[in-house]
């Protein structure tokens, strides 16, 4: 399976919480659900400096099939659909424009 992603720079941002944020594009060819899972888990592991094998499955936090279905469904008026959830100390926003934004949350 080819999981091509284009990465933006990871940069610290100051908001209500100090965080690190990155936005990546999901490979929309092939199995969208698997590509979303790989994109989220690999990038969360990078941001949080965790080993993939030590992280709980993403499906413990969200139904990735439902995310893929929502993001691949055409929306009226050309509107974008965004889904936001938390996983391993990160806030993830997946968008129907094919991007996933991952922000590490700090206490």
Q: What is the pTM of this model?
A: 0.75
Q: 14-35, pLDDT tens digit by residue?
A: 344 456 888 988 888 888 888 8
- How far is residue 53's CA from residue 74's CA, in Å, rounded to a whole number? 35
* Residue 107: predicted pLDDT: 58
Q: For 54, left (φ over 0), alpha (ψ -120 to 50), or beta?
A: alpha
Q: 56-93, pLDDT tens digit by residue?
A: 999 999 999 988 888 887 677 778 889 999 999 999 99
CB neighbour class for 67 (10 Å; exposed up to 12, middle 13-18, buried from 19) = buried
């Amino acid at each position: 399976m080819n999981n091509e992603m284009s990465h933006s720079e990871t940069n610290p941002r100051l908001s209500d919480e100090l965080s690190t944020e990155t936005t990546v594009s999901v490979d929309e060819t092939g199995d969208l659900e698997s590509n979303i899972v790989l994109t989220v888990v690999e990038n969360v592991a990078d941001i949080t400096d965790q080993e993939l094998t030590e992280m709980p499955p993403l499906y413990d936090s969200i139904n990735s099939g439902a995310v893929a279905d929502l993001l691949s469904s055409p929306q009226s008026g050309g509107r974008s659909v965004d889904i936001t959830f938390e996983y391993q100390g990160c806030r993830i926003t997946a968008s129907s424009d094919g991007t996933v934004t991952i922000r590490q949350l700090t206490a």
